[in-house]
Amino acid sequence: MHFNNEELGKLEDRYRAKLINSLSGFKSANLIGTTDGKGNHNLAIVSSVFHIGANPPLVGMIMRPHTVTRDTLENILELGEYTINQVNADIWKESHQTSARYEQLVSEFAEAGLTPEWLDGVKAPFVAESRLKYSLLLRQSQTLEINGTVLVIGEINNVLVEDDVIANDGYIDIEALETVAVSGLDSYHVTNRLGRLSYAKPDKKPDVID
Amino acid sequence: MHFNNEELGKLEDRYRAKLINSLSGFKSANLIGTTDGKGNHNLAIVSSVFHIGANPPLVGMIMRPHTVTRDTLENILELGEYTINQVNADIWKESHQTSARYEQLVSEFAEAGLTPEWLDGVKAPFVAESRLKYSLLLRQSQTLEINGTVLVIGEINNVLVEDDVIANDGYIDIEALETVAVSGLDSYHVTNRLGRLSYAKPDKKPDVID
């Protein structure tokens, strides 16, 4: 099947949204924990979190200002701190439920059946049920003029992870944590490792190292 | 295990790179096809491709100017067009091999054992072995001052995909295509679907729709 530019433009909106959202490949599944500083907590599932750099440790995400993540974005800009919590196979349905359009003062934690967890010195709530989570300080937010979405970049200042999934070289086995991946807008997946590969060099084929 | 800000700063560089790269969750695995317009083709695996918007259809990626994707970035800026090709389970090792530091005039297609494929009117090569691929026109490139990486945004102008994996609602079953996901810097995974979930609404739990 070949869709050219003109054919893509003629697709019905919801059909195009599902088709185009499938193209980037598998996406991360994360819950963004925030608070408004007045005791109102928000939790929103986001599939657009991506790695930007390791030193300093930077993570980015794309937010849509006119969707249900609006409260989350406002909280991040207001407080300057937020948490990212990996979604795992025990909480994939609860996590999806946070994408419903709740009223502003309703806590998605309570509605979805997830538990806020606090760490001394961090203003935003973690998700107790998540097995790999971290807090970030807001470093940059920028509206992308091309479509009005907002690029949010944070620097990681605390990482919480189960001990026994960190390999000797620092790699975290997120498959062992049953972290899920997303495809399209609404499909959730667990994974089976094909293998880890050695650092690629021009004159040899990569070795499977795990 | 808890790493605070100070402890993260003291980690050995390669250890930190592997640890921090595991935090964003599962990543997409894509091959970026480019040419310099003089018959020299480049192919580079990238795990930072992400969805930005469906209308117009926009995809972003983060590139590091001083790594092996430098030629790819220069080609994109020069020609203004490139392809993104999903990596599948039949070509995961070949795809990883494109990350080796080949000389500038060496084609990663030939070295990795992958086949360039051309579509009339598109200046950049696709990967014949990829089962879901698309071409993009460069819309924006911007250096992120915070760490010197480059955000590249393209608009999709052609999509090539096998017919029988497109659902009635537009969702593409990339699991059926054996598209792989990446974790950390070097771990490759196939997937098992937990399910697709219905659009979330405040007063009901989501249904599994697939």
B27-189 — its CATH code?
A: 2.30.110.10
Contact call for A96 and B206, based on CB within 8 A: yes
- Mean pLDDT, to the nearest integer, of B115-130? 97
pLDDT digits (tens, 9 = 90+) for A163-204: 999 999 999 999 999 999 999 999 999 999 999 999 999 988
pLDDT at B173: 98
Residue pair A86/A177 in contact (Cβ under 8 Å)? The answer is yes
Q: Is A176 an 8 Å CB contact of chain B? A: no
Give me the percent of chain A exceeding a pLDDT of 90: 88
pLDDT at B70: 81
Three-state SS string across A4-43, please?
Answer: EHHHHHHCCHHHHHHHHHCCCCCEECEEEEEECCCCCEEE
Backbone angles phi, psi at B46, to 5 degrees: -135, 135
Instruction: Check pLDDT > 90 for residue B29.
Output: yes
pLDDT at A145: 94
Instruction: Check pLDDT > 70 for residue A36.
Output: yes
For residue A89, give the chain B residue with the closest CA: B194
Instruction: Check pLDDT > 80 for residue A67.
Output: no
Instruction: Check pLDDT > 90 for residue A126.
Output: yes
Shortest distance, CA A158 to any CA of chain B (angstroms):
4
Unique residue bearing structure tokens 């795809």: B95
For residue B98, give the chain A residue with the closest CA: A200
Contact call for B55 and A180, based on CB within 8 A: no
pLDDT at B37: 86
User: How is domain A5-189 classified at the CATH fold level?
Assistant: Pnp Oxidase; Chain A (2.30.110)
User: Considering only residues 35 to 54 of chain A, which have any Cβ-Cβ distance to chain B shorter than 8 Å?
Assistant: 47-54
pLDDT at A80: 97
- Mean pLDDT, to the nearest integer, of B174-195? 98
- Mean pLDDT, to the nearest integer, of A60-79? 88
The average confidence (pLDDT) of chain A is: 95
